[in-house]
Chain A
Amino acid sequence: MSEPKLTKDRRLPGFLRDTHIVTIIGLMVLVCIIMMILSPSDFFSGKNLVSMIFQFPEYGILAFGMMACMIAGGIDLSLVGIMNLSGVLAALILKNMVQMDGTTVLNPGMVLPALILAIVVAIVVGAACGAFNGFIIGYFGLPAMLVTLCGLQLYTGLAYGITGGPAINGMCDAFKNIANGTIPGTGIPIVLLIFIVVLAAVVFIMKCTVFGHEIYFLGSNAKAAMYSGINTLKVTIMTYMFSGILGGISGILITSHLNSAKSSNGSTYTLLTLLIVVLGGIHPDGGKGRVLGVTLAVLLLQMIANGFSLMHVSQNAKTFANGCLLIAALVLSVVLEKRAEKKAAAAS
C-alpha cells in the first residue's frame, strides 16, 4: 500500500537512534581502549576471550528474565533463588540416577536420561516458581518488588532445605561439559551456543509474538491494557513464568559451570542483572527497552569484570564499581529521557 501522505522514516536505523545503545557501544570501546593501554597482551588474547565466553551466559540469561519482568512494569528479584533451587534439584537427580565411583560412571546408560530429566525438572521448577510469583503479583495486586524479594527468600530457603547446607558436588562429566566443554572439533564453547539459542528465542518472543507485545502493553499502561481487552493476570503470570524458565536454564548452567549446587551460588547476580538491564536501557517504570541493549550490556559488564580481574582488583572494589555504574546508569536514563522530552516538546 503506498500512501503519498505517509512518508517513510529515512533516518538512521532504529538501534542507532537509541541513545542507550549508542552509550553502551561507546562504553565498550572505552573499556577496550583502557585495556589496550593497561594490559594489551592479556585482554585481547584468544585465551582471555574464550574465558569470557564461559562466564557471561549464566547471568546473561538471568538478565533476560529480569528484562521481561521490568518491561512488564515489574521486577524479578527472585531469579537467583529460582536458579539455585533448579540447580540443586538438577544436581540431586543426577547424583541419584548416575552412580559414580570417583569420576567413573558405573551406569553409563543412565547418563542421557538423567541429563534430560535434570534439565526438564530445572525448567519446570523455574516455570512453577515464576508462575507462583506472577499469580501473587497479578491476582492480589502486590508490588512485584516485594513479592519477588519474598520469592528469593522462599526459593533459597527451599534449596537450602534440600541440600541441608553443604553443596552437592561431583556430577558426571557429561553434565560438567554443558558449561565447561566445547563443541567437539571446533573449540566453540557449548554455553555460547546455548546463549545464542536463548537470545534468539527471547528476541522472537519479545518482537514477533502476541505475548511479547502484551508484555510491552502491560508495562506501558496496565489499565489501558485491561481496557483494551488484554488479560492482564494471564500476561503477568506468563511473564514471570518466562523469567522463571530462564532462571531454570541458568540454574543448569551455573551448576554445571561450578560442578556444584547450593543455595548461595551466584548471590551477586541479583544486583548484577539489575545493573545489566538498567544499563541496557530497560526503563524502570516499564514498557520500554530492547533485547539488543540488554545483550550489549551483558557483554560490557563481562568486559569490565574481566578487566578488573586481569588487573587483580579485589572483589570488594568490583562490587563498589558495579554500584557506581548502577547509579550512573539510572541517572543517565533519567537525564536522557528528560532531554528527549524537551526535544519532543520543542519539535511539536
Chain B
Amino acid sequence: MSEEIFLKLEGIKKSFGGVHALKGVDLEIRKGEVHCLAGENGCGKSTLIKAISGVHEPDEGSIWIDGEKVEKMKPMDAINRGIQVIYQDFAVFPNLTVAENIALNGELKNKAKLVNWKEIHETAAKAMEQVGAHIDPDVKLERLSVANKQMVAIGRAIVNDAKLLILDEPTTALTAREVEKLWAIVRNLKEKGIAIMIVNHKLDEIYRIADRLTILRNGAYVSSGPISEYDQARFTRDMTGKDISGEKYNAAASEEEILRVEHLTRSGAFEDVSFTLRKGDVLGLTGLLGSGRGEIGEALFGIAPAESGRVVLNGKEITIKSVADAMANDIGYVPEDRLTQGLFMQRSIQDNTIASSIRRYMKGARLDEQGMEDATKHWIKEIGIVAPSPKPAVRTLSGGNAQKVVIAKWLNTDPKLFILDGPTVGVDIGAKSEIHGILHNLAQQGIGIIVISDDLPELVQNCNKIVVMRDGKVAAEVDNSIDEISLSNLLIGANEEEVESK
C-alpha cells in the first residue's frame, strides 16, 4: 500500500427528483489498498459507485482520478481511466463462453470488425492466470458456479487494465470457502498495485480483508480511517447513528410446546434436523449459504417438502407435502426475496394483504370489498405500515413498509407458526427494529416464530434460541448469551472445541 491517491471525491452531491441520495460525500482511495465502503441499506453506496463509474453525473462536488480533475465523466471515460465495477449480478453473458466473456469487450474497444479467436483465447488464459483461477475457457458462463462467474468478471476487469476494482457486495452469494478464495485473489491484485474498493457491511468480513474503511449513513459521509481504528462499537455507531442498546429478547419461560421437528430430512438439502419451539420462543435458524437454513423453511411451508421426519404442531402430528397442506395447518411464510416471491408490486396494499386469505371474504357469491378494506386498514394501523390508504401500489412503498405488507398478508391468515426468511434484508434500521418488535409481540401471544437469517447481530438480539446449521445438519443449538464472534465461528466450523466447551 502506498500513500499515493488514485481516486479522490470531494463533496459529491446527487439528488433524484427531490430525494437527496448523496449529501456531500468525501472519499479517498489509495493505490494498492483494499478500501471498504460500508453503510446500511439505502445509505447511498450504490449511487456513489454509479457516480464513480460515470453512470450518474454528480450535481455538485469534484472527482480526481490519478491527480487529474475529471469533469462530466461518462461510463466509457471511467473505464478508460481504469475504473471497473463488478456488480452483484456480475453483468456477464450467460450464453457466451468464459473466453468470450473475458475478451470480447477488449475486441469491441479496439473497434475490431473481425473476431480474432486465437487472441481471444490468449487474452482469456492470461486473465485467468492473473486472477489465479482455473476455469475452462470454452465453458459457457451459465454452467459456472456463482463464485466462478465472479472470477470471470474479475478476469475481464483485469484484462481491461483495471486500476481500481469496485466489488459491490461480493460475498453475498458465496460459501465461506469461496469467500476465502476471493480474498486471496484480492490480496494478489492488491500486490500488483491495483486499488480495490469493496462494498460490504459485515464487520467480520471487513476485518479479514480491508486496510481502510469509509462509512456512509443516509447519503452523508460519516467517517473514514484505517480498519484498526474501528472496534465493534464504533462501527455500529457510525453505521446506524445510535448506540445499539444491546437489549436482548427473552421469552417468558414456558413449557408449552408449539412446534417439534424430529429427524427432518430432504436429501441434498438437510439431514436429521430436530428442534423444539416453545410458547414465547423466537427461534433463530442460521448457517452459511448452502447450509440448509432456508431449505428447512421451504420444507415446513411445503414448497420443497421434506422426505422424512416428523413435524408436531400444537400437539398434533402434521404432514406437509404442499403449500396447501402448510396453509391448512396455519403456517405462514415470509420468503427470502420479497420482490420476486413475496409481493405483487403492481397491486395495491389491500390486494397484497388479502392475497393469502381472500377466501375468507366470500359473502354469498361475491367478495366483500368492504371487509377486505377494513382488514387492510386494521393491519396498516396495527403494525405501522406508512401509507395514506389501502389503495396505493406496493411498489411505491419503501423496503421496510413493503416487508410489513408481506407480514400483514400472513398475519391476516391467523398463523400458528410463522416462518420468516431474512425478514429485515434491505430494510432500514428504524423499520428493522419495528419488525422485530412485531415478532416479539406475536411470540408472546403464543404464535411460534422462526427467523431464518445470516444477520448475526439480528439473531443474537431477537431470538432466545438459535439453531446453527452447517452442511445440512444441525451443528449447534445455543441461547442468546452467545456473542457474535463465537456464533460466526460456529457457522464456519472454526474453533469448534473452544465454542462447544462454553
Q: Which A positions have Cβ atoms within 8 angstroms of B? A: 1, 3, 5-9, 204, 208-210, 213-214, 216-217, 220-221, 223-231, 287-288, 344-348
Interface flag for B246 (CB, 8 Å) = no
Residues of chain A within 8 A (CB-CB) of B380 are: 6
Q: For window 364-403 of chain B, which residues contact chain A by CB distance below 8 Å?
A: 365-367, 374, 377-378, 380-381, 388-391, 395-396
Q: Which of A7, A204, A217, A348 contacts B344 (CB 8 A)?
A: A217
Interface flag for B345 (CB, 8 Å) = yes
Interface flag for B324 (CB, 8 Å) = yes
Residue pairs across A and B with Cβ atoms less than 8 A apart, 17 shown, are A1-B374, A1-B378, A7-B389, A9-B391, A210-B359, A213-B358, A213-B367, A216-B344, A221-B340, A224-B340, A224-B341, A229-B324, A229-B326, A344-B395, A346-B17, A347-B396, A348-B396
Interface flag for B147 (CB, 8 Å) = no
Q: Which of B18, B324, B395 contacts A346 (CB 8 A)?
A: B18
Interface flag for B333 (CB, 8 Å) = yes
Interface flag for B351 (CB, 8 Å) = yes
Q: Which of B340, B359, B389 contacts A6 (CB 8 A)?
A: B389
Query: Would you call B344 and A221 a contact (CB within 8 A)?
Result: yes
Query: Would you call A208 and B324 a contact (CB within 8 A)?
Result: no
- In whole angstroms, how far apart are the Cα atoms of A6 and B385 in the complex? 11
Q: What is the chain A residue whose CB lies nearest that of B393? A: A344
Residues of chain A within 8 A (CB-CB) of B365 are: 208-209
Interface flag for B69 (CB, 8 Å) = no
Query: Would you call B324 and A231 a contact (CB within 8 A)?
Result: yes
Residues of chain A within 8 A (CB-CB) of B391 are: 9
Residues of chain B within 8 A (CB-CB) of A226 are: 303, 323
Q: Which of B343, B355, B367 contacts A208 (CB 8 A)?
A: B367
Residues of chain B within 8 A (CB-CB) of A208 are: 365-367
Query: Would you call A210 and B358 a contact (CB within 8 A)?
Result: yes
Min distance, Cβ A279 to any Cβ of chain B, angstroms: 20
Residues of chain B within 8 A (CB-CB) of A213 are: 351, 358, 367
Interface flag for B19 (CB, 8 Å) = yes
Q: A3-B377, A220-B344, A228-B355 are in contact. Are A8 and B389 (CB under 8 A)?
A: yes
Q: What is the chain B residue whose CB lies nearest that of A210? A: B358
Beyond A210-B359, A224-B340, 17 additional contacts (C-beta under 8 Å) are A3-B381, A5-B381, A214-B358, A216-B344, A216-B351, A217-B355, A221-B344, A221-B345, A224-B342, A229-B324, A230-B355, A230-B356, A231-B324, A287-B347, A288-B346, A346-B18, A347-B396
Interface flag for B108 (CB, 8 Å) = no
Query: Would you call A345 and B17 a contact (CB within 8 A)?
Result: yes
Q: What bracket does the count of chain B residues touching chain A fall in?
A: 35 or more
Q: What is the chain B residue whose CB lies nearest that of A221? A: B344
Q: Which B positions have Cβ atoms within 8 angstroms of A? A: 16-19, 303, 323-324, 326-327, 333, 335, 340-347, 351, 355-356, 358-359, 362, 365-367, 374, 377-378, 380-381, 388-391, 395-396, 409
Q: Which of A220, A227, A228, A345 contacts B345 (CB 8 A)?
A: A220
Q: A210-B359, A228-B409 are in contact. Are A204 and B389 (CB under 8 A)?
A: no
Q: What is the chain A residue whose CB lies nearest that of B397? A: A348
Residues of chain A within 8 A (CB-CB) of B356 are: 228-230
Q: What is the chain A residue whose CB lies nearest that of B381? A: A3
Min distance, Cβ A52 to any Cβ of chain B, angstroms: 32
- In whole angstroms, how far apart are the Cα atoms of A231 and B139 in the complex? 38
Query: Would you call B396 and A344 a contact (CB within 8 A)?
Result: yes
- In whole angstroms, how far apart are the Cα atoms of A203 and B17 in the complex? 39
Min distance, Cβ A27 to any Cβ of chain B, angstroms: 25
Q: What is the chain B residue whose CB lies nearest that of A220? A: B344
Q: What is the chain B residue whose CB lies nearest that of A213? A: B358
Query: Would you call A210 and B347 a contact (CB within 8 A)?
Result: no
Q: A1-B374, A223-B341 are in contact. Are A348 and B409 (CB under 8 A)?
A: no
Query: Would you call A9 and B367 a contact (CB within 8 A)?
Result: no
Residues of chain B within 8 A (CB-CB) of A344 are: 395-396
Residues of chain B within 8 A (CB-CB) of A204 are: 366
- In whole angstroms, how far apart are the Cα atoms of A229 and B340 in the complex? 15
Residues of chain B within 8 A (CB-CB) of A9 are: 389, 391
Query: Would you call A6 and B388 a contact (CB within 8 A)?
Result: yes
Min distance, Cβ A288 to any Cβ of chain B, angstroms: 6
Residues of chain A within 8 A (CB-CB) of B323 are: 226-227, 229
Residues of chain B within 8 A (CB-CB) of A210 are: 358-359, 362, 367
Most-contacted residue by chain A among B303, B342, B390 (CB, 10 A): B342
Q: A229-B356, A345-B17 are in contact. Are A287 and B396 (CB under 8 A)?
A: no
Q: A208-B367, A229-B356 are in contact. Are A287 and B388 (CB under 8 A)?
A: no
Query: Would you call A217 and B351 a contact (CB within 8 A)?
Result: yes
Q: What is the chain B residue whose CB lies nearest that of A226? A: B323
Q: A6-B388, A7-B389, A213-B367 are in contact. Are A227 and B342 (CB under 8 A)?
A: yes
Min distance, Cβ A219 to any Cβ of chain B, angstroms: 9
Residues of chain A within 8 A (CB-CB) of B396 are: 344, 347-348
Residues of chain A within 8 A (CB-CB) of B359 are: 210
Q: What is the chain A residue whose CB lies nearest that of B16? A: A345
Q: A6-B377, A6-B380, A221-B345 are in contact. Are A229 and B388 (CB under 8 A)?
A: no
Residues of chain A within 8 A (CB-CB) of B351 are: 213, 216-217
Q: What is the chain B residue whose CB lies nearest that of A212? A: B367
Q: Which of A6, A217, A229, A288 contacts B327 (CB 8 A)?
A: A229
Min distance, Cβ B374 to any Cβ of chain A, angstroms: 5
- In whole angstroms, how far apart are the Cα atoms of A9 and B388 in the complex? 9
Query: Would you call A227 and B303 a contact (CB within 8 A)?
Result: yes
Q: What is the chain A residue whose CB lies nearest that of B380? A: A6
